[in-house]
Amino acid sequence: MNKIPLVVIFSLFVVSFGSYSFAQTVEFNHINIIDPVVILETTSGEIVIGFFPNDAPKHVENFIKLSTSGFYEGVLFHRIIPGFMIQGGDPNTIDGDPSTWGTGGPSTSVDAEFNTIKHNRGIVSMARSADPNSGGSQFFIVHQDSNFLDEQYTVFGRIITEESFETLDKIAAVETGDRDNPLDPEKVRITKATVVSISEIPNVIDLQEPERTQNTPLTPSSGNQKYQSTENEISLSVPEGWLLQERDDSQPNSPDVVAVGPKTGIMNPVISLTVQETNQRTLDELISEKLETIKPVIESGELIVSSQKKMTINGYDAYVTEAEGLFSSDGELYNVQFKEIMIYDKEKFYTLAYSNGVDDFDSQLPRFDDTVESFSIITPESTSDEIPSEVGGCLIATATFGSELAPQVQQLRELRDNTILSTESGTAFMTGFNQIYYSFSPTIANLEREHPLFKEVVKLSITPMLSSLSILNYVDINSEEEMLSYGIGIILMNVGMYFAAPAIIIYKIRK
């Protein structure tokens, strides 16, 4: 099957499929090992990891391959947050500069295999950057239940012995510095990684099937997050809470902007925008080129086009294509539905695309329609004070966009939607808070886009706030009283940290 045209035409480059079969036999030192587990010997004790090959076959294969090659020998658990997780697997931690810890890995990566296993205590999951498909060698072990990570990171294993849990607690208890790095690295070093059959582990604890999310949809987002690019001279909004990413220069053929939503079916819903030069081609010529490109796929029966039509969108000539096609992954076929809108503006044309599984396509289609409606082309003259104030958007999202803090911001948004907005007091507080926040946030967001240095300063400034708000992930809020004591209390603490404390310091200095 020729699957390349589907990827190119509809920009479907961020796809996460569910369960696959994986042969639970590996060869190590010329010996076949049935039901393999990995023993990590550390300076604080032993950790034995069992796997979920049906949920994340590629991650299991990758982890075992790295373990048998000696890749993990000498690396540290370099990021330790008690009550949350311990993270390791970076080769830079063997003898590299501590400032580089957390940035290293192998030369290849593993595509996301998001699944429904919950991130409960003892779960082993793959660390990644803002790109869902950037998993390499770094992994983390959950210290305490952290279900805000569910379906956003790939779970591929769990620890399976009592000693493993004791070692987890010992590592989580070591003293750390400002960046959650261990102050005494020799207490948290992996000295050896061995692959053996689970039958050779005499003290495996009786573990039940892992708890799952049952693949229920996450609480719908209440709004949109806005994006603007002065380079491409466009602005648009995408669903709030979706992971927003810009194109990596190493992938020149990928879309310029991609928003990835939470998976509710066979794949994650994806909205993308691609900006291209017309090179003096007319809209009709571009349409003809596209039809010629997809003709072989249509004739083969792999793509069924249900609708093609010209129309006007936001005052611009446009061409809309709706189709359904078979997408192949590891020998499995998945029925995927697409909607693509080509917007034409003489010098450039802009392709907005939405893809999702056929059964879940309609559930997110209104959000794509909102994105299309919000799309606008910014002329050079309008990039100054004439830009509408609503383009600015959230200063926190803008400051952390594309950085290592982006996933944390997304988790906090989900926490807000699922926890704070689930109570009357939380909803009332956030309504008033947002009125104040968005009175100045768009202005600052625009300044961040115009001045990269200013953006970095803001990002550094809000990092303590994001860390303190993460405390809400570890408390149970089941009543109005708990919301007032935990949620609103922590937010007010940040108000004091960012406004009251500086005011008092300035007053004392002047006095």
The answer on 196 and 58 residing in a single domain is yes
In whole angstroms, how far apart are CA 356 and each of 10, 36, 161? 11, 35, 40
**Of 110, 108, 78, nearest to 91 (Cα)?**
78
Confidence class for position 385, pLDDT limits 50, 70, 90:
very low
Kindly report, residue by residue over 165-174, the tens digit of the pLDDT: 999 999 999 9
Q: Are residues 354 and 407 in the same domain?
A: no
Q: Are residues 325 and 436 in the same domain?
A: no
* CA distances from residue 2 to 5, 302, 303, 326, 483 in whole angstroms, order as listed: 7, 8, 11, 10, 54
Find the mean pLDDT for residues 332-338: 82
Which of 200, 231, 257 is the last residue before a domain boundary?
200
Q: Is the pLDDT of residue 91 over 90?
A: yes
State the pLDDT confidence band at 62, using cuts at 50, 70 and 90. Answer: very high
Q: Are residues 158 and 232 in the same domain?
A: no
Cα-to-chain-centroid distance, residue 236: 20
Report the alpha-carbon distance of residue 164 to residue 316 in Å, rounded. 61
Euclidean distance between CA atoms 258 and 6, whole angstroms: 17
pTM: 0.45
**50 and 173 co-located in one domain:** yes
Report if residue 28 sits inside a domain. Answer: no
Q: Is residue 487 within 8 Å of residue 475, measured between CB atoms?
A: no
User: 108 and 136 in contact (C-beta within 8 Å)?
Assistant: yes
Q: Which residue has the higher pLDDT, 257 or 475?
A: 257
Which of 194-208, 269-283, 349-363, 459-473 is least confident? 459-473
Helix, strand, coil percentages in the chain from 3-state DSSP, rounded to 5: 35, 30, 35
| Closest to 155 (Cα-Cα) out of 207, 212, 214 | 212
Helix (H) or strand (E) holding 349: strand 348-357
Burial class, 127, CB count within 10 angstroms (exposed 0-12 / middle 13-18 / buried 19+): buried
- What's the pLDDT tens digit per position in 4-39? 333 333 333 333 322 223 334 455 444 456 689 999
pLDDT confidence band for 125 (50 / 70 / 90): very high
Is 138 domain-assigned? yes
**Mean pLDDT within 428-432:** 68
Residues 355 and 488 in one domain: no
Q: What is the CATH number of the domain that holds 265?
A: 3.40.1000.10
| Sheet hosting strand 85-88, strand order edge to edge | 77-81, 85-88, 139-142, 123-126, 155-159, 45-51, 36-42, 190-197
The pLDDT of residue 94 is: 94
Q: Which residues contact 68 (CB under 8 A, 6 or more apart)?
A: 26, 28, 193, 195
Same domain, 53 and 180: yes
At 478, give phi and psi (nearest 5°). -120, 5
Indicate whether 285 belongs to any domain: yes
Mean pLDDT of the 480-485 span: 60
Alpha-carbon span 139 to 91, nearest angstrom? 12
The stretch 206-220 carries a mean pLDDT of 68
Q: Are residues 253 and 363 in the same domain?
A: yes
Helix, strand or coil, per DSSP, at residue 327: strand
**CATH number of the domain enclosing 72:** 2.40.100.10
Arithmetic mean of pLDDT, 238-254: 68
20, part of any domain: no
Q: Could you write out the three-class secondary structure of 243-308?
A: EEEECCCCCCCCCCEEEECCCCCCCCCEEEEEEEECCCCCHHHHHHHHHHHHHHHHHHCCEEEEEE
The percentage of residues in the chain with a pLDDT greater than 90, rounded to a whole number, is 31
For residues 43 and 170, membership in a common domain is answered with: yes
Q: Which residue has the higher pLDDT, 413 or 255?
A: 255
Stretch 351-363: mean pLDDT, rounded? Answer: 89
Q: Is 487 strand, coil or helix?
A: helix
User: pLDDT at residue 347 above 90?
Assistant: no
pLDDT at residue 477, rounded to an integer: 55
- The model's confidence at residue 509, banded by pLDDT at 50, 70 and 90, is low
Residue 192 has pLDDT above 90, yes or no: yes
Give the pLDDT of residue 7.
Answer: 35
Beta sheet of 303-313, edge-to-edge order: 243-246, 257-260, 270-277, 348-357, 332-345, 316-329, 303-313
Q: Is the pLDDT of residue 283 over 70?
A: yes
Q: Does residue 345 sit within a domain?
A: yes
Quote the Cα angle for 43-48-51, to 5°: 140
Residue-wise pLDDT tens digits, 393-409? 566 766 666 566 666 66
Six-digit token pair at 140?
């983390």
Is residue 458 pLDDT above 60, yes or no? Answer: yes
Query: How long is the chain?
Result: 511
Q: 405 lies in which domain range?
A: 395-510
Residue 389 lies in a domain: no
Please report the pLDDT score of residue 345 as a whole number: 87
Same domain assignment for residues 278 and 136: no
Residue 79: count of CB within 10 angstroms of its CB: 22
- 278 touches 34 (CB < 8 A): no
Q: Are residues 269 and 293 in the same domain?
A: yes
Q: Give the pair of three-digit tokens for residue 505.
A: 């310091």
Q: To the nearest whole number, what is the mean pLDDT of the chain?
A: 77
Q: Establish if 65 belongs to a structural domain.
A: yes
Give pLDDT, residue 294.
Answer: 84
* CA-wise closest residue to 363 among 470, 248, 433, 263: 263
Q: How far apart are CA 470 and CA 462, in angstroms?
A: 13
Domain membership of residue 23 (yes or no) is no
Half-sphere CA count of 290, side-chain side, radius 13 A: 21
pLDDT at 127: 92
Query: What pLDDT, on a 0 to 100 scale, did the predictor assign at position 252?
Result: 60
Residue 393 phi, psi (nearest 5):
75, -150
- The pLDDT, as a whole number, for residue 486 is 59
The 3-class SS string of 219-248 reads: CCCCCEEEEEECCCCEEEEEECCCEEEECC
Q: Are 99 and 90 in contact (CB under 8 A)?
A: no
Pairing of β 376-377 and β 348-357: unpaired
Please state, for a pLDDT cut of 70, what percent of the chain lies above it: 67
Indicate if the pLDDT at residue 287 is higher than 70. Answer: yes
Residues 244 and 372 in one domain: yes
Domain count across the chain? 3
- Which residues lie below 8 Å from residue 336, measured CB to CB, with a gap of 6+? 6, 12, 267, 324, 325, 326, 327, 355, 356, 357, 358
